[in-house]
A and B are shown apart, each in its own frame.
Chain A
Amino acid sequence: MADESLADRALAPASGIAVYDGRVTTWLALGYIFTLAWLPAGAWDALIMAALILWFVIGCGRIGLRLIWRRSLVAWPFALAALTLAIARPGEPIAQFTIGGQAFTVTDAGIVATATVMIKSWLSVQAVMALIATTHFSELLTALAALRLPPLLVMILGMAYRYLFILQDEALRMLRARDSRSAALPNRRAGRNLRWRATITGRMVGTLFVRAYERSERIYAAMLARGYDGQPLTTPPPSLRRIDYVLLIGGSAACIGLIIVAYT
């Protein structure tokens, strides 16, 4: 399952951005996504500039723009919901159609709103992908901790990340075991009715819960054995270098610039 995410690429030596501090990349990515959220509908110049900035950064990081584009399609099915915006906004009517006796009018303002939402959504997903392709998850947590996220929550997130793929593998093994026990003839549905199938799945969820719970008890015992007393034992993150400050200021200026371009 690990290959499903770009997180494994975080340590790829080819990445140029990886030499920068994880806090800088995290904060800039978050700032970029929050800036996108504030851009109004139809701010094409700002959106195009935002896209070019992001793609320039992705290009500099040698992450692979094509890979990012291919993976970024995950957000598009939800874009179907954005299509409804086309009929929701009042404006100049462009087309009309009827579904189930109710008339819908597509307006120019509606199409602008739909396109804006889709572009913003697509760019935000690419920014998150660029972030996790360049920043290791532990660095990301350091950046979030510096933003005053409760330390307990940061530690829980770190623990969850560590056991994520282990428990996913456990779930995959259970699914494989179920498949191997429920062979089906072609063109004949295997298993009983929906309720029965859901119940079996529910028992699998229960089994997985018991295994995970017992695993957490073993982990707790192991942590205690190594001297865990509820406090995180981490080396303090290194102070930011001059280049990090330059990048932070430059990135913030770019974000503010986008807002100014969009609203003037």
Chain B
Amino acid sequence: MWWQWIAERITLGLHIPDGFLHAPVALLWWLPTVIAVGVATRAVRQSLDDRAVPLMGVMAAFIFAAQMLNFPIAGGTSGHVLGGAFAAIVLGPWAGMIVMTCVIALQAILFQDGGIVAMGANIFNMGIATAAIGGWIARPLLTRNGSFTTNRLWIATVTAGAGWLSVMAAAALTSAQLVLSDLPAAIVFPAMLGVHAVIGIGEGLITAAAVLFLVTTRPDLLQANAPAGTSSARVAVIGLIIAAVTAAFAPLASPDPDGLERIAEDVGFIERATDAPYHMLPDYTIPWLGETPLSTILAGLIGVAVMIGLIWVIAALLRSRPPARS
């Protein structure tokens, strides 16, 4: 039935297609994604060595296939797992991020689920954020003195909670990105968070059942993938995620999207703000060219160049450090 098909597509509503995000918003979200994936690639190379390619590759294919394992909910609709939290709980946060990045990239390229320009945002929402919740919130809670806990009720509670939270975080981030691209917050937030609060229950139940299954049948697999990665890098990425989430929610602190500017005008410090040295491209135009189309295009190009430069510098910094083993 066509409406079932649409309902199923809406539950996939976390894959933002191209065209929805304003170009600056989409490009901005590439930045934390590139940093996180770069750090994760290094960490995986260090901890897994040349096992990284077969293990991560097959695990990405596994998440892809696991998303096909659906269960009927009601009225012909069905639910399935997103998998980011599960991958991070079982394989570790960095490996989880790499696996989810590959899954989202393949979905966008092969099946057109999610856009290309929007892929940075999609990877962050469904890959980085979900793996961070599974790997840095659930995993430490499940580990006692370096080994996996055996308390089944505790495992079920923590993993189910992490699964639900990962879906909610992805939905909140997606909503924030859409709202930053001018979609109305009053509709997007209640709709997305409402639908995904229910979908998240399925994610939590599946995650808990899958982890408990592994605890029963293959506890060695859970012990084998011990936590890896340096603590400083971990702290850096956690800080990055908090910063990104805060940035995403900052504009929503006020019902008016340009609330801060409004207050600035009311209080009267807008003149001072425009004089600030960091206000280089006021209203996306070059000051000495006036408000001409050329000025807008040049401002856009400068913005893109700055973004590419930032990404390049960070990539070079990550690359220059010698790997621990090779």
Contact = CB atoms under 8 A, between A and B. Distances in A.
Interface string A225-264: 0001110000000000000000000000000000110011
Interface stretch (B67-75, B133-141, B239-247): B67-75
A88 interface: yes
Contacts of A140: 109
Interface residues of B, number: 92
Given A164-B106, A202-B210, A36 B65 contact: no
Contacts of A172: 68
Interface string B43-69: 011000111111111111110111011
Interface stretch (B181-189, B226-234, B260-268): B181-189
Nearest to B57: A159
B23 A75 contact: no
Given A152-B44, A201-B206, A202-B205, A128 B68 contact: no
A37 B117 contact: yes
Interface in A121-168: 121-125, 128-129, 131-132, 137, 140, 148, 150, 152-153, 155-164, 166-168
B23 A121 contact: no
A174 B70 CA distance: 11
Contact of B112 (A80, A129, A152, A223): A129
Nearest to B74: A194
Nearest to B56: A156
Contact of B19 (A36, A170, A195): A36
B296 interface: yes
Given A198-B79, A201-B71, A37 B18 contact: yes
A146 to B, nearest CB: 14
A134 to B, nearest CB: 13
Q: How large is the interface on A (under 10, 10 to 19, 20 to 34, 35 or more residues)?
A: 35 or more
9 contacts: A77-B9, A84-B188, A124-B19, A152-B41, A164-B106, A202-B207, A205-B206, A213-B55, A223-B54
Nearest to B311: A148
A120 B53 CA distance: 36
Nearest to B192: A81
Contacts of A199: 205-206, 209
Contacts of B52: 152, 156
B205 A167 contact: no
B182 A113 contact: yes
Interface in A54-68: none
A202 B59 contact: no
Interface of A: 4-5, 7, 30, 33-34, 36-38, 71-72, 74-75, 77-78, 80-82, 84-85, 87-89, 102, 113, 116-125, 128-129, 131-132, 137, 140, 148, 150, 152-153, 155-164, 166-168, 170-172, 174-175, 191, 194-195, 197-210, 212-213, 215-217, 219-220, 223, 228-230, 259-260, 263-264
Contacts of B70: 175, 201
Given A78-B17, A150-B41, A171 B184 contact: no
* Max chain A Cβ within 10 angstroms of own Cβ: one of B5, B213, B293: B213
B105 interface: yes
A209 B184 contact: no
A175 B79 CA distance: 14
A202 B208 contact: yes
B112 A75 contact: yes
Nearest to A201: B71
Interface in B65-107: 65-66, 68-73, 79-81, 83, 86, 90, 98, 101-103, 105-106
B326 interface: yes
A36 B102 CA distance: 24
Nearest to B300: A38
B65 A124 contact: no
A128 B183 CA distance: 25
A71 B19 CA distance: 18
Nearest to A211: B62
Interface in B280-298: 293-294, 296-297
B54 A219 contact: yes
Contacts of A71: 112
A80 B178 CA distance: 13
A171 B236 CA distance: 37
Given A156-B60, A167-B64, 5 more contacts: A33-B116, A201-B69, A201-B209, A203-B210, A230-B53
Contact of B109 (A118, A132, A259): A132
